[in-house]
Amino acid sequence: MKLPIILAGAALFVAPASAQSTADLEAKIEALAAELESLQLQDVMPAVGESKYGLGPAASKVYSKEQGLSIGGYGEGRFRMDSADDFDWYRHIMYFGYKFNDNWILNTEVELEHVDEVYVEFAYLDYIGLTENMNFRTGLMLNPMGLINEFHEPTTYLAANRPQTESVIIPSTWRENGFGVFGEAGGFDYKLYYMNGLDGEGFSDTSLRGGRQKGSRALAEDWAFVASANYVDIPGVRIGASMYSGDSGQNQGGGDMATDIFEIHAEYKSGPWWARAMMADAEVTERVAGDIELTGTYYELGYNLMDGTDSALYPFIRIEEVENGGGTSEFTTMGVHYRPIDQICFKLDKCDETDTTSFVIGYVF
C-alpha cells in the first residue's frame, strides 16, 4: 500500500512544475511565432531606402530584395482653401513588386484617387543585365521627363501642389505603354523609350494634359520616342534633360499633330539647401484646330531650419512663369514643408496667382 501512496504523492508534487513548464513552453512558442511573423513582414515590407533607376524611394524597394514580394506605398490628403474650400484624401498608393530572380523584376503602382477612383500608375517588367550598363523595360511605364513625373512621392518635393510646368506641359503623372532600355554609365543615368503617342483630341490651346492615354485602351496608331539623361555622380546633384517626339493625331482626322517636348532641369540638395530649376517647351504642329506652343520655367528654393537633426523644416519659395496661347501667367508660391521623420511630411503653402492656400498630409512606407 505504501508504493501507490508514494507515487500519488510524487505525481501531486510534480504536476505543478509540469504545468508551469508547459506554460513557459507555450509562451516561448508564441513569442517565436510573433518574431517570425515580424521578420516575414519586414522582408515583404522593408524600410524605405534609396531611390533606384530614377524612381522614388518607396517605388524602388523591390530592387533591393534578393527575391520575392515587396510592398510599399505613399499617400496624401489635401485641404484646399480658395473660392470653395474642400478636403480631399487625394491619393493612396500601393506598390507591389516581385523579384523573380537576379534578372527579372516586376514593379507596379496601384492608385486609389479621391477615395473612389482606381488607376494603375505603372506596371512593367525589367530585365536587369542586358549588358553591363544596359537594362530592358516593357509595360506601362512612367515617362522619364522632368523632376516630378518619376519622383512624385510627397516627401520628394517641397510644395503641396506640383508646378504648372510639370502639370500642363509635362503632364505629370504621365505614363504610357511601351518598351525601352535604361541604365547608368560614366556618372549619368539614361532612359530610351518607345511609347504609344498622346491622343491629340484631348489637347487644349493651354495644356497637353488631356492627351494622356494612361495605358487604358490606348490608341497606338502613332508612337513617340523619349530620351532622358541625368548627371548623378555628385551626391545631392541632379542635372539633366529629356525630349519627347512623335505624332498625336492617332488617325482621328485632327491632323498629324506632330508633338515635340524638350526640357532641362537641375536639382541641388545638400546640407540645409534644397534648390530646383526647370525649363520646358512644347510644340504641336500640323493640327487642324491650330498649332500649340507652350513654355514654362520655374525656380524653387528651400532652407532647412532643422538641419543636423532627424527632422526637417523647409520654408520655401517657388517662382514660375508659363506662356501659352492665352498669354503669360506668373505664379509665386510660398510655404513651409515639415518632416518630423523622413517618411512623413506636412506642407502648407499659398499661391498668389490663384489665391489658393493648401495643406497636405503626406507619407511613404
Closest to 336 measured CA to CA, from 365, 310, 311, 308:
311
Q: Domain limits of the chain?
A: 72-92+138-364
Cis peptide before 173 (omega within 30 of 0): yes
Q: Which pLDDT band holds residue 5 (cuts at 50, 70, 90)?
A: very low
- What does DSSP say about strands 292-303 and 237-247: parallel, antiparallel, or unpaired? unpaired
| pLDDT band, residue 44 (cuts 50/70/90) | confident
pLDDT in tens, 210-234: 999 999 999 999 999 999 999 999 9
**Average pLDDT estimate for 99-121:** 96
Indicate the range of 11-15, 89-93, 157-161, 173-177 predicted with least confidence.
Answer: 11-15
Q: Show the cell assigned to 187.
A: 556618372
| Among the listed residues 222, 321, 236, the one whose alpha carbon sits nearest the alpha carbon of residue 278 | 321
Cβ(297)–Cβ(320) below 8 Å? yes
pLDDT of residue 34: 60
Confidence at 324, pLDDT banded by 50, 70, 90: very high
The three cell numbers of residue 254 are 485632327
CA 124 to chain centre: 14
Assign 327 to helix, strand or coil.
strand
Mean pLDDT of 110-135: 96
Count of H-run helices and E-run strands, the chain: 1, 16
Q: Categorise residue 59: left if φ over 0, alpha if ψ from -120 to 50, beta otherwise.
A: alpha
Which ranges in the chain belong to alpha helices (H)? 2-44
The three-class DSSP label of residue 19 is: helix
| Residue 42 CB contacts under 8 Å (≥ 6 apart), including other chains | none
DSSP-derived pairing of the beta strands 312-324 and 292-303: antiparallel
- Find where cell 484624401 sits: 89
351 vs 49, residue with greater confidence: 351
Q: In terms of C-beta density within 10 A (0-12 exposed, 13-18 middle, 19 or more buried), how is residue 56 classed? A: buried
Nearest to 321 by CA among 277, 256, 273: 277
User: Is pLDDT of 106 > 90?
Assistant: yes
As beta bridge partners, residue 317 has 301, 334
The 10s digit of each residue's pLDDT in 279-323 is 999 999 999 999 999 999 999 999 999 999 999 999 999 999 999
Across the range 64-81, mean pLDDT stands at 95
pLDDT at 11 over 50: no
207 and 171 Cβ atoms separated by less than 8 Å: yes
357 Cβ partners below 8 Å, 6+ apart? Answer: 80, 81, 82, 348, 349, 350
Whole-angstrom Cα distance, residue 292 to residue 346?
37
For the domain spanning 72-92+138-364, the CATH number is: 2.40.160.10
Q: Are 303 and 272 in contact (CB under 8 A)?
A: yes
Q: What is the pTM of this model?
A: 0.86
